[in-house]
Amino acid sequence: MTSIRSKIFVNNTKAADLSKSNQLLHSIPEEIINMFANSANIKFYQKGQSIYFEEEDAEFFYFIKSGLVKLFHQTMDGDESIIDILTHKHVFGEDAIFNNDTYENSSEAVEDTELLIIPTSVLKEQINSNPKVALAMLSSMSKRRKMQEREIEHLTIQNAPQRVGCFLLRLCPKNKDKNIVINLPYDKTLIAARLRMKPETFSRSINTLRQVTKIRIRGSRVEIDNIQQLSDFSCGTCSSTYPYKD
């Protein structure tokens, strides 16, 4: 239970490496983040270190330079319910500005992580004064909403092996459909939690996928010969089909 305030600013490169990168998936466009470069600082978090806790006052929001961050809720019976796992270039904590400047969930570094921290005050100013920023926020929030809707749908109509298959499909490069080799982005226990299933269920789902779709998995290495077979199995009942737009 380290206090948030106790973390030390190790580095102050500021905008230095904010410039080189492309469109963000479900988050604020990087060009917008760049506008905050002057107000931003860099902060390092060790694996397992907490970033902020739910209901804490939110003075900052965060941009992930590198590493892995887990967003979660603490449940009444002591468990935690994972909201999302975020990686490179994702933004989080910004939603606090619509929540009375209070964080809506807790966050923690899952690996050693390098974050850009930006005062929420700056974001609020920009939203109010710069229509482009407000629009970017709207657009990014809309995308997230859509992804959440998809997640809800999947929780309802897909079974565990299908959800795992769907997760793998999302990792595949968009332009290939044969002989794909990918690596799981984080350990299986965490993937299981992200997919809202138990590690045992995840493991058994992998076995099912092996049998049904002929994929090969060894450690974190995944080989998919025929992506069609995997998407037929995973997405046969969904409202969207592979390849996904986001």
Partner DNA sequence: CGAGGTGTTGAAAGTGCTCAAATGGCGTGG
Partner DNA sequence: CCACGCCATTTGAGCACTTTCAACACCTCG
- Interacting residue ranges for a second copy, rule: CB under 8 A: 54, 73-77, 79, 81, 83, 95, 98-99, 104-105, 127-129, 131, 134-135, 137-139, 141-146, 148-149, 151-153, 155-157, 196, 235-239, 241
From the CB of 47, what's the least distance to a second copy, in Å? 24
Residue 188 interacts with DNA (CB under 7 A): yes or no = yes
Strand order in the sheet with 91-92: 41-45, 113-119, 60-66, 91-92
Residue 95 interacts with which of a second copy, DNA, none, CB < 5 to 8 Å by class: a second copy
Whose Cβ is closer to DNA: residue 77's or residue 129's?
77
- Alpha-helical (H) ranges within the chain are 30-35, 120-129, 131-157, 160-171, 188-194, 199-213, 227-235
Whose Cβ is closer to DNA: residue 176's or residue 198's?
198
d(C-alpha 139, C-alpha 168), whole Å: 26
Cα atoms in the 13 Å half-sphere on the side-chain side of 104:
13
d(C-alpha 105, C-alpha 82), whole Å: 10
Helix (H, G, I), strand (E, B) or coil at 91: strand
Cα atoms in the 13 Å half-sphere on the side-chain side of 150:
19
Whose Cβ is closer to DNA: residue 81's or residue 100's?
81
Residue 187 interacts with DNA (CB under 7 A): yes or no = yes
d(C-alpha 148, C-alpha 238), whole Å: 14
Are the beta carbons of 44 and 117 closer than 8 angstroms?
no
Q: Which residue has the tokens 């006052």?
A: 57
The one among 32, 136, 206, 235 contacting DNA by CB under 7 A: 206
Residue 234 interacts with which of DNA, a second copy, none, CB < 5 to 8 Å by class: none
d(C-alpha 218, C-alpha 107), whole Å: 30
Residue 83 interacts with which of DNA, a second copy, none, CB < 5 to 8 Å by class: a second copy
From the CB of 206, what's the least distance to DNA, in Å? 6
Q: What is the b/e burial string over 157-175, where b = at least 16 CB atoms within 10 angstroms of the residue's CB?
A: ebebbbbbbbbbbeebeee
Among residue numbers 76 through 135, which ones bind DNA (CB under 7 A)?
Answer: none
Residue 119 interacts with which of DNA, a second copy, none, CB < 5 to 8 Å by class: none
Residue 206 interacts with which of a second copy, DNA, none, CB < 5 to 8 Å by class: DNA
Whose Cβ is closer to a second copy: residue 10's or residue 155's?
155
Residue 66 interacts with DNA (CB under 7 A): yes or no = no
From the CB of 197, what's the least distance to DNA, in Å? 4
Residues within the interface to DNA (CB under 7 A): 159-161, 187-190, 196-207, 217
